[in-house]
């Protein structure tokens, strides 16, 4: 089905721009060139302000930027045709449209899709189920140069898969969505990459509290959304965000309120994600409201526009830093434009004179398009012109591959747009040291320059202070080249809250994560830089002090054999064992002497043996704990110590009973002798302790373990205590025997001097009590590497106290006071006791 659209849109939508072209096209057209394959160009040569009118009107004539863009397209086409290398025996044609408004852009797009009918001068667009064999007027389209217009054009051209290569400002991220715009490509990066560069710039200077102002079009809104998403993920907060209408003026109430809110936000850095016209009005409003000493970050759309730099008073606003596409000069363009101006000057005047008074107003605009004086392109213009130049060459390289021109001559044939599109997607060539190829989204893989505006001279001036490169994405800034507006050239601060010190987490206040209090991470936790709002716990094998950013490995400690304290204790324990062995030999050799008999006779050897075995348990506390040492050390000491105490109790009771109670209870005395009472008591008492030890071993077997609780920075290798209840009962039982022994000994304080063991036993038991109490007090305040040494000292003191208090004096008498080790001496002592007791 055919749709005749030219007449309808020609009068209602396109009239102003159309007549501007018609005025210039009288005589011959410089906006159209016939060729074997036609490329269409969409350029905003004129501009129309959006107002409340019944139709768009040409209100502003942009005589510089758009002019350079369409001349760059003409220049590139003629260069390709004249060289004959890229497309030998094939000529490219072009048809250029002035898309001065949305309606003009729509008309141009439909005109490109239209087909000529041989019997008619009209154009029509067919609505088909399949556009595979569809042949529009142009095989490819260059432009438009804005996101707003590109969204409409790309959607329509994608129906027939007509390749569209945009060249400047059409950087909206949504255009990278190939499922929506499959035929759209561009010789500039997506705004996504520009956002990445801006966010990395913010992070590099630690600016986490920023404002964002955007223009009310696809470029500004999409850029604002992407910037917000990326920035918030990186810990940057947007303190204020505003949208400026496209027709805003510097003195409007809308702009005045926006600037006031921006100041109230306390953000010292503002990102202006807007087109150049809106930015110009916005910064004029900023100057009028006397907003100074701020940092303004610009996008590639306006950061190299001289007209904005030249605004009166703009140097007072602070520091302006922007991102711009890497600049590549285009040699020959100025000469080409000069030749064009010279050739068009005469034709333009002649055309206007021929059409009379009614055409004069439009022709005034036409003459502005072809200035009489030589106009030098700015960096902004040449940069955009090179992107247009690259776009045309991308189409030409696609045709080169499609037509098989690598053989030296192109094979002319019917070219369908979708065929050319596939070839353009895969082009890879170099223009003036810049590589041109497209990624999977149809975006050009190129980085940015980071520039700063300079206010030193009266002419447009900027400095390149860094760059943003791709694959991998990396920002490089030469901070020594930056000239800040601050005193002492210090980097401006833009944060909601003061930065926390190392190891302090952020306690958020309000809705923004950038507004917070600083709280120190407690011990045992650390602050992971990836999550500044929460302190992470260290692992079981790690520790960290207060305000830590990392965890350290905990030190594993135990009492090693080669420690100086271990050497001292081992030496003392070994010496004690040798003294016990020597004393046992002395007692065994003098077993029948009165001193040995009064001390217990053979029972002394049992006591010395039990003390020696208990002393051997002290060796189990040195070195890394093992299963056998953990199993033996507590039972070995407690059983043998109980045996020794039981012997002391039995011997003390035996002596006291003989001297004080035998006469009063001869039957009891005889029964004790007959049934071996002391031996039964010793056996029963020791068996009870042995039973408790066995129960403890069976229920909770002591094993080597790592103790993580005593010290944060240490892991103590120790033996588990087994059943704490049974172990406590065993300790209590030993204490009970000691008290009983002390009470019985005290009852015999007035016995004959030769049999009076009170002082000896009291000293021995006093050492036991002191050692036990000292150990529990120390262990309550100290839990470390030397705790086993403390227990060893306590047990050693107990054993050495009994040995020194009970056995050493008797060994001394045997060896050095033989006169006291006689039957006569003991009988004299008994007689003196009897006489004294009788007199009492």
786-817 pLDDT, tens digit per residue, is 778 888 888 888 888 888 888 888 888 888 88
pLDDT for 25 equals: 35
DSSP 30: S
Task: Give the tokens for residue 164.
Answer: 């569209």
pLDDT at 54 over 60: no
Query: Does 191-330+447-489 match 2-189+331-437 at the fold level?
Result: yes
The CATH number of 191-330+447-489, from 3.30.1360.230, 3.30.70.260, 3.40.800.10, 3.40.50.2300, is 3.40.50.2300
pLDDT for 754 equals: 52
Instruction: Considering only residues 120 and 237, tell me which one the structure prediction assigns the higher pLDDT.
Output: 237
> How far, in Å, CA of 394 to CA of 76, rounded?
11
pLDDT for 840 equals: 54
pLDDT for 198 equals: 94
Q: Which tens digits make up the pLDDT trace of 245-264?
A: 888 887 788 888 999 999 99
The lowest-confidence range among 12-16, 28-32, 285-289, 460-464 is 12-16
The lowest-confidence range among 277-286, 599-608, 687-696, 721-730 is 721-730
Going by pLDDT thresholds of 50, 70 and 90, the confidence category of residue 354 is very low
Q: Residue 226 in contact with residue 195, Cβ under 8 Å?
A: yes
pLDDT at 392 over 90: yes
Radius of gyration (C-alpha) of the chain in whole angstroms: 51
pLDDT for 837 equals: 58
Q: Residue 168 in contact with residue 387, Cβ under 8 Å?
A: yes
Superfamily of 2-189+331-437 according to CATH: Response regulator (3.40.50.2300)
547 CB-contact burial (10 Å; exposed 0-12 / middle 13-18 / buried 19+) = buried
Parse the chain into domains and list their residue ranges: 2-189+331-437, 191-330+447-489, 504-553, 564-839
Tally the C-alpha atoms within 13 A of residue 240's C-alpha that lie toward its C-beta. 20
Tally the C-alpha atoms within 13 A of residue 98's C-alpha that lie toward its C-beta. 30
Spatial strand order of the sheet with 474-477 comes to: 237-244, 209-215, 269-273, 294-298, 318-325, 448-453, 462-469, 474-477
pLDDT for 529 equals: 79
Instruction: Considering only residues 188 and 652, tell me which one the structure prediction assigns the higher pLDDT.
Output: 188
Question: Which one, of 769, 768, 752, 776, lies nearest residue 804 by Cα?
Answer: 768
Neighbours of 251 (CB within 10 A): 11
Q: Residue 293 in contact with residue 318, Cβ under 8 Å?
A: yes
- For the chain, helix (H) and strand (E) counts, in that order, are 25, 30
Q: What percent of the chain has pLDDT over 90?
A: 23
Q: Which tens digits make up the pLDDT trace of 534-574?
A: 899 998 888 899 989 889 888 888 888 888 888 988 898 89
Q: Residue 526 in contact with residue 536, Cβ under 8 Å?
A: yes
pLDDT at 450 over 60: yes
pLDDT for 2 equals: 38
- Rounded to the nearest angstrom, the gap between the alpha carbon of residue 834 and the centroid of all alpha carbons in its chain is 92
Q: Residue 211 in contact with residue 267, Cβ under 8 Å?
A: yes
Q: Which tens digits make up the pLDDT trace of 742-787?
A: 777 777 565 555 555 666 777 777 888 888 888 888 877 776 777 7
pLDDT for 86 equals: 92
> How far, in Å, CA of 566 to CA of 788, rounded?
10
DSSP 346: H
The CATH number of 564-839, from 1.20.1070.10, 1.10.10.10, 3.10.20.30, 1.10.10.60, is 1.20.1070.10
Going by pLDDT thresholds of 50, 70 and 90, the confidence category of residue 401 is very high
Going by pLDDT thresholds of 50, 70 and 90, the confidence category of residue 41 is very high
> How far, in Å, CA of 569 to CA of 560, rounded?
12
Rounded mean pLDDT of 269-286? 91
Cα distances (angstroms) measured from residue 15 to each of 31, 101, 314? 17, 11, 39
pLDDT at 355 over 70: no
Q: Which tens digits make up the pLDDT trace of 463-474?
A: 999 999 887 788
Q: Residue 477 in contact with residue 461, Cβ under 8 Å?
A: no
pLDDT at 361 over 50: no
pLDDT at 10 over 50: no
Question: Which one, of 17, 14, 15, lies nearest residue 66 by Cα?
Answer: 17
Neighbours of 148 (CB within 10 A): 19
Question: Which one, of 95, 191, 195, 86, lies nearest residue 143 by Cα?
Answer: 95
Spatial strand order of the sheet with 184-186 comes to: 32-33, 92-98, 37-43, 140-142, 164-166, 184-186
pLDDT at 821 over 90: no
pLDDT for 9 equals: 35
Q: Residue 821 in contact with residue 595, Cβ under 8 Å?
A: yes
Q: Residue 149 in contact with residue 124, Cβ under 8 Å?
A: no
- Strands 318-325 and 448-453, sheet pairing: antiparallel
Query: What SS3 state is found at 659?
Result: helix
Question: Which one, of 150, 143, 189, lies nearest residue 165 by Cα?
Answer: 143
Task: Give the tokens for residue 757.
Answer: 């063991």
């Amino acid at each position: 089905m055919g749709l005749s659209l030219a007449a309808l849109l020609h009068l209602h939508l396109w009239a102003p721009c159309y007549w501007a072209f018609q005025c210039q096209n009288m005589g011959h057209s410089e906006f159209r060139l016939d060729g074997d394959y036609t490329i269409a160009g969409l350029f905003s040569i004129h501009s129309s302000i959006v107002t409340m009118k019944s139709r768009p009107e040409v209100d502003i004539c942009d005589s510089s930027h758009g002019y350079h863009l369409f001349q760059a397209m003409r220049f590139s086409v003629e260069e390709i045709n004249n060289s004959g290398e890229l497309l030998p025996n094939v000529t490219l044609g072009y048809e250029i449209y002035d898309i001065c408004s949305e309606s003009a852009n729509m008309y141009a797009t439909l005109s490109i899709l239209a087909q000529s009918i041989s019997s008619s001068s009209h154009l029509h667009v067919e609505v088909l189920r399949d556009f595979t064999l569809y042949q529009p007027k142009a095989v490819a389209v260059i432009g438009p140069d804005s996101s707003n217009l590109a969204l409409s054009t790309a959607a329509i051209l994608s129906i027939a898969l007509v390749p569209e290569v945009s060249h400047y400002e059409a950087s909206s991220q949504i255009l990278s969505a190939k499922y929506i715009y499959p035929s759209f490509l561009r010789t500039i990066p997506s705004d996504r990459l520009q956002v990445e560069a801006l966010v990395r710039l913010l992070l590099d200077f630690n600016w986490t509290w920023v404002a964002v102002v955007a223009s009310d079009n696809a470029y500004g809104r999409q850029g604002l959304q992407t910037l917000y998403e990326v920035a918030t993920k990186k810990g940057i907060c947007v303190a204020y965000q505003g949208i400026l209408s496209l027709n805003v003026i510097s003195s409007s109430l809308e702009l005045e309120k926006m600037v006031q809110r921006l100041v109230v936000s306390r953000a010292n850095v503002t990102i202006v994600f807007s087109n150049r016209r809106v930015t110009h009005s916005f910064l004029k409003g900023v100057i009028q409201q006397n907003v100074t000493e701020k940092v303004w970050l610009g996008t590639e759309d306006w950061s190299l526009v001289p007209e904005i730099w030249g605004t009166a008073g703009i140097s007072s606003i602070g520091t302006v830093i922007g991102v711009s596409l890497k600049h590549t000069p285009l040699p020959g363009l100025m000469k080409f434009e000069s030749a064009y101006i010279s050739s068009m000057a005469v034709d333009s005047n002649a055309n206007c004179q021929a059409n009379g008074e009614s055409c004069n107003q439009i022709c005034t605009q036409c003459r502005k398009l072809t200035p009489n004086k030589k106009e030098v392109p700015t960096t902004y213009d040449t940069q955009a012109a090179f992107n247009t130049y690259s776009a045309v060459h991308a189409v030409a390289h696609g045709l080169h591959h499609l037509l098989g021109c690598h053989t030296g001559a192109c094979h002319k044939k019917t070219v369908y747009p979708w065929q050319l599109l596939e070839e353009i997607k895969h082009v890879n060539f170099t223009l003036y040291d810049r590589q041109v190829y497209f990624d999977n989204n149809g975006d050009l893989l190129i980085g940015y320059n980071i520039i700063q505006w300079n206010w030193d001279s009266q002419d447009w001036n900027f400095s390149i202070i860094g760059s943003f490169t791709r694959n991998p994405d990396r920002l490089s800034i030469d901070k020594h080249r930056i000239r800040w507006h601050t005193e002492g050239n210090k980097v401006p601060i833009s944060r909601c809250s003061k930065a926390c010190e190392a190891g302090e987490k952020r306690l958020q206040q309000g809705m923004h994560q950038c507004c917070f209090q600083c709280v120190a991470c407690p011990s045992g936790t650390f602050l992971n830089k990836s999550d500044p709002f929460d302190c992470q716990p260290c692992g079981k094998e790690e520790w960290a002090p207060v305000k830590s950013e990392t965890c350290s490995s905990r030190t594993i400690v135990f009492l090693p054999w080669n420690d100086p304290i271990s050497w001292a204790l081992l030496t003392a324990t070994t010496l004690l064992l040798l003294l016990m062995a020597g004393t046992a030999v002395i007692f065994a050799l003098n077993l029948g002497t009165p001193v040995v008999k009064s001390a217990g006779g053979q029972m002394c050897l049992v006591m010395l043996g039990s003390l020696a075995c208990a002393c051997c348990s002290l060796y189990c506390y040195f070195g890394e704990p093992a299963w056998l040492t953990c199993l033996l050390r507590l039972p070995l000491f407690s059983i043998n110590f109980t045996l020794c105490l039981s012997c002391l109790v039995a011997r003390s009771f035996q002596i006291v009973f003989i001297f004080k109670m035998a006469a009063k209870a001869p039957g009891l005395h005889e029964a004790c002798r007959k049934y071996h009472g002391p031996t039964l008591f010793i056996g029963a008492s020791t068996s009870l302790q042995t039973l408790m030890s066995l129960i403890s071993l069976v229920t909770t077997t002591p094993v080597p373990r790592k103790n993580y609780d005593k010290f944060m920075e240490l892991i103590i290798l120790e033996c588990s205590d087994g059943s704490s209840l049974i172990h406590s009962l065993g300790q209590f039982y030993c204490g009970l025997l000691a008290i009983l022994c002390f009470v019985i000994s005290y009852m015999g304080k007035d016995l004959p001097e030769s049999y009076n063991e009170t002082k000896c036993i009291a000293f021995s038991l006093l050492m036991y009590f002191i050692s036990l109490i000292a150990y529990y007090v120390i262990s309550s305040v100290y839990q470390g590497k030397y705790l086993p040494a403390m227990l060893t000292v306590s047990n050693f003191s107990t054993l050495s106290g009994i040995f020194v208090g009970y056995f050493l004096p008797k060994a001394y008498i045997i060896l050095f006071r033989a006169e006291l080790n006689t039957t006569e001496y003991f009988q004299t002592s008994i007689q003196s006791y009897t006489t004294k007791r009788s007199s009492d």
